[in-house]
């Protein structure tokens, strides 16, 4: 049987209308009680893996994964990922096992992907599967923290996971109950019951001003300060609890940070903090953060973890942190900082010596 080019062209022209007609009359079954045809399922997985492999070629992989930041990543995983993918000691929900396609048990599958491919999957998600994109697309640092956590997941036991994801379950403060109690427990996953933070990537909340903490919660919930790890708990707590949360952590006592650090780097950081970098239009940090009468919306940065300070200054310099009414001031101040300047400031402000210079009590 001979098919002319004319007949083939007519058939191809008609095909789209046939497909639309089939969709209009409801020929395609979209029910979730059964899966795709085997050939369809194979093709979709083939297309997904091929796309991830191709787009991952453009991912700039860091020399080392940020394993110092896996604790907040674990907290986020427990809140938003474990319900579908499971976790050590936490099997997937029976409802999730009825999903089509079924979310994989990541402890057994992360080894199939490279770091770049995992980054692509975590940041952008996968269409038609229920796998969402990262809530804050600007925060590649958070995505890499999650990749670092996923790399640890296959060898992680239940006790280690629960400690990372939830921390200790201590008695709540007197008079605290109900939904505020749960909100504080969610905060304590990363910030600790004492507000001092549970890792080098987590800020100290204890002793910060109530006004600053409240302003920050508003910024996270509204998306003005981008963070996939903070926006979800801020929104979940609800604006009616934000003042209580801010009041609670502002009232907690602070402690002196640990000593250490490269003396030359600390000296350079102290110089920038006190004098700025005139040639790069960087003002003195202590001009705002070191005054006793500073605005309550200016945070106390003395004694914050070195890794945290370094990361936040990098975000300010890149224009990826803001949201509060004075955020633009820090973005402008950080533009002229070099990587070495940022490391020096982080080393200085993380030390006890910075406390007296910044008027911290």
pLDDT score at 326: 87
Is the pTM here over 0.85, yes or no?
yes
pLDDT score at 258: 67
Q: Where are the domains of the chain?
A: 43-56+65-165, 170-250, 263-357
Asked if 90 and 153 touch (Cβ cutoff 8 Å), the reply is no
pLDDT score at 361: 42
pLDDT score at 322: 85
CATH number of 263-357: 1.10.760.10
CATH number of 170-250: 1.10.760.10
| Closest among 271, 283, 287, 290 to 345, alpha carbons compared | 271
φ, ψ for residue 156 (rounded to 5)? Answer: -90, 130
Same fold across 43-56+65-165 and 170-250:
yes
Task: Please give the mean pLDDT across all residues of the chain.
Answer: 90
Q: Please list the residues that pair with 277 across neighbouring strands.
A: 282
Largest CA distance in the chain: 93
For the domain made up of 43-56+65-165, the CATH class stated in words is mainly alpha
Using DSSP's 3-state secondary structure scheme, residue 131 falls into strand
Asked if 338 and 346 touch (Cβ cutoff 8 Å), the reply is no
For the chain, residues with pLDDT lower than 70 are: 1-3, 169-177, 257-260, 353-361
Cα 214 → chain centroid: 19
pLDDT score at 29: 81
């Amino acid at each position: 049987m001979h098919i002319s080019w004319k007949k083939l062209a007519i058939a191809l022209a008609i095909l789209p209308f046939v497909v639309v007609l089939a969709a209009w009359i409801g020929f395609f079954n979209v029910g979730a009680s059964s899966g795709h045809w085997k050939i369809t399922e194979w093709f979709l997985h083939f297309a997904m893996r091929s796309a991830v492999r191709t787009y991952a070629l453009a991912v700039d992989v860091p020399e080392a994964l940020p394993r110092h930041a896996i604790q907040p990543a674990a907290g986020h995983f427990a809140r938003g990922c474990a319900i579908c993918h499971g976790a050590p000691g936490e099997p997937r929900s029976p409802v999730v096992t009825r999903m089509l396609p079924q979310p994989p048990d990541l402890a057994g599958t992360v080894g199939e992907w490279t770091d770049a491919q995992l980054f692509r999957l975590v940041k952008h998600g996968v269409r038609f599967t229920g796998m969402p994109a990262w809530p804050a697309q600007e925060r590649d640092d958070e995505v890499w923290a999650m990749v670092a956590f996923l790399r640890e997941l296959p060898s992680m036991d239940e006790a280690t996971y629960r400690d990372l994801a939830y921390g200790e379950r201590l008695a709540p403060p007197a008079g605290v109950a109900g939904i505020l109690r749960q909100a504080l427990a969610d905060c304590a996953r990363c910030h600790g019951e004492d507000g001092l933070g549970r890792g080098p990537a987590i800020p100290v909340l204890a002793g910060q001003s109530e006004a600053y903490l409240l302003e920050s919660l508003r910024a996270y919930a509204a998306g003005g300060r981008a963070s996939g790890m903070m926006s979800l708990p801020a929104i979940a707590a609800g604006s009616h609890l934000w003042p209580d949360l801010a009041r609670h952590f502002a009232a907690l006592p602070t402690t002196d940070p640990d000593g250490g650090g490269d003396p030359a780097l600390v000296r350079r950081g102290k110089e920038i903090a006190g004098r700025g970098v005139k040639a790069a239009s960087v003002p003195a940090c202590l001009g705002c953060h070191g005054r006793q009468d500073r605005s309550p919306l200016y945070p106390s940065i003395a004694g914050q973890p070195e890794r945290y300070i370094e990361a936040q200054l990098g975000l300010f310099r890149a224009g990826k942190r803001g949201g509060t009414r004075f955020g633009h001031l820090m973005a402008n101040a950080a533009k002229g900082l070099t990587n070495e300047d940022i490391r020096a400031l982080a080393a200085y402000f993380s030390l006890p010596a910075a406390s007296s210079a910044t008027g911290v009590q």
